[in-house]
């Protein structure tokens, strides 16, 4: 596929996605016939079908051959891959949804930290401590974000619950791609002691302390984006 075709496909996908997320196409509404829609957008049928396929894979439309394409409610059918687009819809942050994300993040971090304290291996405790110590020396916020994500993933693995690990796998690209947009690690050197206290609580098998440190760390992250 040429670069030009790729750019066109991405643009038509972005236009349709914005229309669905913003409610311009309401849940249950039928999209115009594909030939009409392609003409309205000024794109080829191939580009339109690729965009619709991506929307279908995200659970946002129901495409039926020989029938109309119907919009689905993204709040009911969307997955974690919808989050980045929904939070940054139209180039502006959806503060309400962002608050939901940080609340869910804080709850998850608190619980996996408590589980990790009771279930971690010696090797996992050592790796968590190493990553926590490395965060303060990160060159910039993007590097700090990569360390943060690796550390939280290690904690999830130490917690021994595969579902938490799979959730993190699903949001890895979202988190790292938008590390600059959502600068939760601004002043990461100041946050480093919090990470080290969390790592120490997990190493010491103190589940209560681990949950507390994880919760206060998550609150410190949220404060950096005004939540």
Domain map (residue ranges) of the chain: 3-78, 85-223
Separation between Cα atoms, residue 54 and residue 178, nearest integer Å: 21
Q: What's 82-143 look like in SS3? A: HHHHHHCHHHCCCHHHHHHHHHHHHHHHHHHHHHHHHHCCHHHHHHHHHHHHHHCCCCCHHH
Q: pLDDT per residue over 136-162, tens digit each?
A: 888 888 888 899 999 999 999 999 999
8 Å CB contact between 126 and 201: no
Q: pLDDT per residue over 188-200, tens digit each?
A: 878 899 999 999 9
CATH fold of 85-223 reads 1.20.120
How many residues are there in the chain? Answer: 227
Q: Which residues pair with 70 in a beta bridge?
A: 30, 62
Q: pLDDT per residue over 96-145, tens digit each?
A: 787 888 899 899 999 999 999 999 999 999 999 999 999 988 888 888 88
Question: What are the angstrom distances between the C-alpha of 111 and each of 177, 179, 192?
Answer: 25, 23, 20
Q: Which residues contact 185 (CB under 8 A, 6 or more apart)?
A: 138, 141, 144, 145, 148, 179, 191, 221, 224
Class level of CATH domain 3-78: mainly alpha
Instruction: Write down the pTM of the prediction.
Output: 0.79
């Amino acid at each position: 596929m040429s670069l030009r075709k790729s750019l066109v496909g991405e643009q038509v996908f972005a236009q349709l996605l914005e229309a669905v997320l913003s409610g311009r196409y309401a849940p249950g509404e039928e999209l115009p016939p594909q030939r009409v829609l392609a003409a309205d957008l000024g794109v080829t049928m191939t580009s339109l079908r690729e965009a619709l396929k991506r929307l279908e894979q995200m659970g946002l439309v129901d495409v039926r051959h020989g029938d109309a394409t119907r919009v689905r409610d993204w709040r009911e059918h969307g997955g974690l891959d919808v989050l980045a687009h929904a939070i940054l819809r139209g180039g502006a942050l959806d503060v309400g949804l962002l608050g939901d994300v940080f609340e869910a993040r804080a709850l998850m971090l608190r619980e996996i930290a408590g589980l990790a304290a009771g279930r971690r291996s010696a090797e996992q405790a050592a790796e968590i401590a190493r990553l926590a110590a490395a965060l303060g020396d990160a060159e910039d916020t993007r590097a700090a974000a990569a360390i943060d994500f690796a550390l939280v993933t290690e904690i999830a693995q130490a917690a021994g619950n595969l579902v938490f690990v799979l959730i993190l796998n699903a949001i890895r690209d979202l988190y790292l791609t938008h590390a600059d947009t959502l600068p939760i690690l601004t002043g990461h050197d100041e946050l480093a002691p919090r990470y080290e206290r969390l790592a120490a609580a997990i190493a010491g098998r103190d589940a209560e302390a681990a949950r507390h440190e994880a919760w206060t760390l998550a609150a410190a992250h949220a404060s950096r984006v005004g939540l």
